[in-house]
Structure 1
């Protein structure tokens, strides 16, 4: 199986392949449909469930292999309280009941409030869910998908998709996230031995 068959192709070809793969994956398809009907402001399904599904497809592994949860971002700057986010999380728990994996939901408008306590460094005050994706520890992980106003799947990929299709985990040094980059790289390599982790 040629798992690198999309590596190095122009972005539009990679984008079409990426959307075809993730939309055909039953777990991702279900999660996206439910996220759309939940209709949170600025919502975006991001990261692992997406690129892991691509790697599973290209290496012949079963759907869901190596995926521990589904990350759903939204952006609501109108109420930055913990209570407001918690209410959304509780409402969404019922909405996503029955999915085989947990859905982790975070309001990207309030990340700057808790990030320093959790990670020991500040992070920017994001202006959208899409912007926050550009701050992930590895450029490879910086990808999100949502439905646009016309019901078409839209991709957010600030660093492109070639790292995903090249099975290459590349550091994103915009913040000091070396530890996260290395830990996620090691975990990914355990699930997909084809992966190369670029050193920090």
Structure 2
């Protein structure tokens, strides 16, 4: 398959009933600045590039949002329970990016998009949302090229700091993505 472009990724998602169902389910919560991101998008691209006919099981479906009005972890758990009630069998993970800088010991995020730009890998810094004006929206702060080409490298935010670079390297070991997607290229930093 030739290199995918943003419009190809959007087409693949639109044609995937499971993915569009996930997005529509999250949309019903009316969360501010919400996105379904990371592996949800990345795995679709990598499965397509590897010619897999079946979806790779995800350890979780990451939903992020940005709500300065309620930064409690309890609210995130309530939202996960709501999503499970609406769409069972999905390993939901919901995180308000307003509070995540405390967890990760980073500067505060300005938005969910800002938080995505600070994800560990460029190929993971991807998100999808549904907009009333534009329909399906893909956000890729570092572009889609690394995800499409199967290149794993740290985002500039992780590359610029030795402690974060260690976190990136530890993630690579833990995730072991090449076990499933053998044509990936992993860059140390």
TM-score (norm 2): 0.87
Distance 2:41 2:95 in 1: 17
Equivalent of 1:141 in 124, 132, 138: 124
Which stretches in structure 2 are left out of the alignment for 5+ residues? Answer: none
Work out whether 1:178 is the aligned partner of 2:165: yes
**Structure 1 residues 83 and 184 mapped into 2: Cα distance closer, same or farther (>3 Å)?**
closer
Equivalences for 1:7-86 in 2 at 5 Å?
Answer: 14-86=5-77
Deviation at 1:105, TM superposition (A): 0.5
Could you list the per-position Cα deviations for residues 84-129 of structure 1 after superposition, in whole angstroms to 9, with x for gaps in the alignment?
33333332331232x4x301111111112333xxxxxx21211211
Instruction: Indicate conservation of the 8 Å contact 1:25/1:53, yes or no.
Output: no
Distance 2:103 2:107 in 1: 11
SS class of match (1:141): coil
Distance 1:50 1:23 in 2: 12
Instruction: Indicate conservation of the 8 Å contact 1:27/1:64, yes or no.
Output: no
Distance 1:24 1:189 in 2: 26
Equivalences for 1:77-96 in 2 at 5 Å?
Answer: 77-96=68-87
- Residues 171-180 or 33-42, more deviating: 171-180
Instruction: Indicate conservation of the 8 Å contact 2:77/2:94, yes or no.
Output: no
Instruction: Indicate conservation of the 8 Å contact 2:80/2:92, yes or no.
Output: no
Distance 1:150 1:173 in 2: 31
Distance 1:195 1:75 in 2: 32
TM-score (norm 1): 0.82
SS class of match (1:132): helix
Equivalent of 2:3 in 1, 6, 12: 6
**Structure 1 residues 174 and 151 mapped into 2: Cα distance closer, same or farther (>3 Å)?**
closer
RMSD: 1.9
Instruction: Indicate conservation of the 8 Å contact 1:142/1:158, yes or no.
Output: yes
Could you list the per-position Cα deviations for residues 143-167 of structure 1 after superposition, in whole angstroms to 9, with x for gaps in the alignment?
1010112251111111000001111
